[in-house]
Structure 1
Amino acid sequence: MQSDEVVRLCQCFERANLAFWVDGGWGVDALLGRQTRPHSDLDLAVNLADLAAFDRLLQHQGYARIARDHDPEWNWVLRHQSGRSVDLHGFVRDAMGNGILGDPGEGSSYPAGALEGRGAISGFAVGCIAAPFVLAFRNGFEPRDVDRHDVTALCAQFGFALPSRFRI
């Protein structure tokens, strides 16, 4: 997915007064203030109550929700005929400020403070997942090459030590 499409979509979300936070690879590049690698999709954290509004807006932009086995009700993927996609992660804030994804008993959340990141994509300011939380999330699973790239770039930019899974 190209940066001009990401910015165009983010502008549409803002015009519709829909709050969102850029996650995933574009979130890392937003924190870095520059695109450092290609991205196949746009990951967004959104308020669960707004999930249907995002779905409608994206459908109006030529995206269609794709059916995937075992998808939770709070995580939708919409794909454009061009192949680009948007992955929506709906959350509900609890009293502590955590963004709970799905059943609170499962422990999936954006911890309090995670949604306080700020960055820019092609000069367009966006909210995103804060760098320390990106590093913690990426340290929670076996890293892929793109994860190694993203984590190394974030640590270099912000002066963080490499998380344990990324140390050679």
Structure 2
Amino acid sequence: MDGLTERQLASVDDVVEAAAAAGIEVWLRGGWAMDFHLGQVTRPHVDVDWYCWRADAERLAATLTGRGWRPDPRMPVEVQLDLFRGDVEVSFAYLSRDDTGRVTVGGGPWTGTPLPAGMLDGPRGEIGSHTAPIISVAAQIEFKEMFPVWMPERPRRPKDADDVARLRASLITSAATGEDPAQLRSPVPRAAWTDEGSERA
């Protein structure tokens, strides 16, 4: 495990600890969510991607800046919260709920778009002694499979196909995930990917 990976794992611990102390909910998404589901680091990651509630974003930013994190000026805070500390970058895409209680995109041009049902209901993930809330495996697969359909100008990356294969294999070999394979392709508008299209992890 290289130094950056170790620092990214330490950042996961820091975010989880800070958020819990402040009573703020967060969930890993992207490549790190997959790794925490699988229980191992499968490949290098450029940054660490999260979800948080839009209503908590300001308080979360204040909590993390108090722990040495600094805002990244490249991303408008209205769209998502991006922070860095040293060579570690973290980003928080926003979540909201609509009038029916469905989880929706909480920031940016696709605000209000429904996200996959049950996305926030999966079990916590872990890598060794590190634990964190993660989005459900079904949602992880859906995002990675459907992104090229929602955004044809951005073809599927080889690592996305590899990730989907790993995630699907994990569902076959582990009943402990609690995921329903019949729901892996629930229809979600292309906008539901929100900013995951720019995810570098």
- The TM-score normalised by the length of structure 2 is 0.69
Partner of 1:43: 49
Partner of 2:162: 149
Cα pair 2:96 2:104 within 8 Å, conserved? yes
Cα pair 2:25 2:52 within 8 Å, conserved? yes
Partner of 1:166: none
Q: Which has the higher strand share?
A: 1
Select 1:101's aligned residue among 106, 115, 122.
Answer: 106
> What secondary structure, in the 3-state scheme, does the structure 1 residue paired with 2:10 have?
helix
Q: Which runs of 5+ in 1 are unaligned?
A: 164-168
Counterpart-to-counterpart distance in 1, 2:60 and 2:38 = 26
Counterpart-to-counterpart distance in 1, 2:40 and 2:158 = 19
Asked if residue 115 in structure 1 is aligned to residue 120 in structure 2, the reply is yes
Partner of 2:14: 8
Count of residue pairs the alignment pairs up: 161
Cα pair 1:77 1:85 within 8 Å, conserved? yes
Q: What is the Cα deviation at residue 27 of structure 1?
A: 0.6
1:16-35 alignment, distance < 5 Å: 16-35=22-41
**RMSD (Å) for aligned C-alpha atoms:** 2.6
Q: What is the Cα deviation at residue 29 of structure 1?
A: 0.8
Q: Deviations over 1:39-79 (max 9, x none)?
A: 2211111011110111112212222111226x461412111
Asked if residue 91 in structure 1 is aligned to residue 95 in structure 2, the reply is yes
> What secondary structure, in the 3-state scheme, does the structure 2 residue paired with 1:115 have?
coil
Select 1:138's aligned residue among 138, 144, 156.
Answer: 144
Q: Which runs of 5+ in 2 are unaligned?
A: 149-154, 173-180, 186-201
Counterpart-to-counterpart distance in 2, 1:112 and 1:125 = 23
Cα pair 2:95 2:104 within 8 Å, conserved? yes
Cα pair 2:105 2:111 within 8 Å, conserved? no
- The TM-score normalised by the length of structure 1 is 0.81
> What secondary structure, in the 3-state scheme, does the structure 1 residue paired with 2:28 have?
strand
Counterpart-to-counterpart distance in 2, 1:26 and 1:105 = 24
Q: What is the Cα deviation at residue 8 of structure 1?
A: 2.8
Q: Deviations over 1:82-127 (max 9, x none)?
A: 2111111111112242233336866644322111122223334322
Counterpart-to-counterpart distance in 1, 2:11 and 2:60 = 16
Q: What is the Cα deviation at residue 136 of structure 1?
A: 0.9
Identity of matched residues, %: 28
Q: Cα gap change, 1:111/1:72 in structure 2, threshold over 3 Å: closer, same or farther?
A: farther
> What secondary structure, in the 3-state scheme, does the structure 1 residue paired with 2:84 have?
strand
Asked if residue 76 in structure 1 is aligned to residue 89 in structure 2, the reply is no
Partner of 1:64: 70
Cα pair 2:37 2:134 within 8 Å, conserved? yes
